[in-house]
Amino acid sequence: VQPLRAGPLHVRRSHACPMASVLICGGGNAAQVCSCLFGSRYKVTAISLYGDEAERWDQAVKEAGQMECTLAPQQKTVKAKPDRITKDPICVRECDVVLFTVPSSFHEQYFAALEPHVKDGTIFAVMPARSGCDFLFKKVMGHKASKLGLVAFETLPWACRFNEWGKTSTVLGTKETIGAAVVPPAGKSVTEVILKLQGLLGVEPMIVECPNVMSISLGNPGQVVHPGITYSRWKDWDGQPLAKKPLFYHGADEFCASVLSGISDDIQAICNKLKSVDPSYDTSQVKTIFDWYMASYSLSCKDTSNLQKAMVTNSAYDGLCHPMKGTEDTGFTPDFQFRYLSEDVPTGLCFTKGVADLLDVRTPMIDKVMLWCQDKLGKEFITPDGKMGGKDIGYTRAPQAYGVKTKKDLMEFLGLKPALNPLLPVLAVAAAVIAILAVAKPKIV
């Protein structure tokens, strides 16, 4: 990684680059940042399957001459551009790494479009993967899945946004670490895959290996934070428009923190149950929501004494508001169709709730938040009695939507080995002794 220096950065690509080509999927905030930052050092192709977005993006770059990304914490700027911007999925044939930055509700669309053209050994890095990404990957890729790599990231590397779409963007803050579960392609090691992706990201954030994709699925912070904050802020809303947009993260109060902690506690209960089923199954990296904030943003938070204080003093969240509809003239109302619910409930909480049901784990806070959220989305994911069996389960990433209907099905998919009853060896020895004594007992004539 080239060192930062004053003024705009014009970084030359290294001819010794170990990565021949990167395909960036999407056209939103993260895709804009990745295309500029990575385009300064690697061969980058950007693909968007959304309408004429690729054509418009390509035209915007041509008008500007290049893209520009400002790294706000360092007060530096990177200038670069992708080598190609397209909507043709055949471009994946030339790429070693495919980086998903699209919302999780579009993951299946991109997997399906790329599947006919992808070559063996290609690494799919999904950031954020949200929950159940491995279930979806195996469903879409079928027999090819074993020859491809899957890296499920817990979140994006940065808090970022585009300023002028297709031209300028800003990194507001960079996470210190980022968790990733790696399923390497045949013939490659986990270490090789991580080193390749770390080279792409640079020094920060540091990739921390997670032991399995389930750790990413259950540790998905979006499923806790986004629905939790939305529920806390709007559950008692009277329906009247607001004069201004309320702050999202910086508006969190103590009740909000209790809701997030409650969801987090439900998730920890699921981890404990998985551990009781198979003591060798590692979920130790599924952090509580407070621990996740400390791992990701401790240097950005002025007060880390508790979860609520950490959230409202996190400089990386400066100015970020609730997604709203309306104008200053009409007033603002919440947009419940925004991805904070439309993505993080079906591809986050629904997965977690589905796993909880299969393991017979109670999730009181998740149930409360999900029932409210699904009402706002006009869906039924869980039944009124809190079971993951609503009529719209097919829209979710719940294991049940992929044919995993029982605890046994789940154990087989995850490769869990049930714990042996600690009394079994004792009982076996006792049975053997009884059998020996029965044989040795003298007959009475």
Distance CA 140, CA 136 (A): 6
Element (H, E) at 84: strand 84-86
3-state secondary structure (DSSP) of residue 361: coil
Distance CA 171, CA 365 (A): 33
Convert the pLDDT of each residue in 192-201 to its tens digit.
999 999 999 9
pTM of the predicted model as reported, rounded to 2 decimal places:
0.83
Catalytic residue, chosen from 10, 143, 226, 250, is 226
Structure tokens at 326: 């309306």
Element (H, E) at 162: strand 158-164
**Peptide bond connecting 128 to the previous residue in cis, omega within 30 degrees of 0:** yes
Query: Which residues make beta-bridge pairs with 164?
Result: 168
- Give the mean pLDDT of 365-391: 96
Convert the pLDDT of each residue in 388-440 to its tens digit.
999 999 999 999 999 999 999 999 999 998 876 555 556 666 666 676 766 66
Convert the pLDDT of each residue in 205-255 to its tens digit.
999 999 999 999 999 999 999 999 999 999 999 999 999 999 999 999 999
- Helical packing angle, 107-114 and 133-141, nearest 10°: 30
Distance CA 119, CA 117 (A): 7
User: Which amino acid, residue 176?
Assistant: E
Residue 11 has pLDDT above 50, yes or no: no
- Helices and strands, counts by H and E, the chain: 15, 15
Asked whether the beta carbons of 259 and 283 are under 8 A apart, the reply is: no
End-to-end Cα, the chain, rounded Å: 92
226 is catalytic: yes
Cα 208–Cα 212–Cα 217 angle in degrees, nearest 5: 90
Convert the pLDDT of each residue in 99-118 to its tens digit.
999 989 899 999 999 999 99
Asked whether the beta carbons of 135 and 399 are under 8 A apart, the reply is: yes
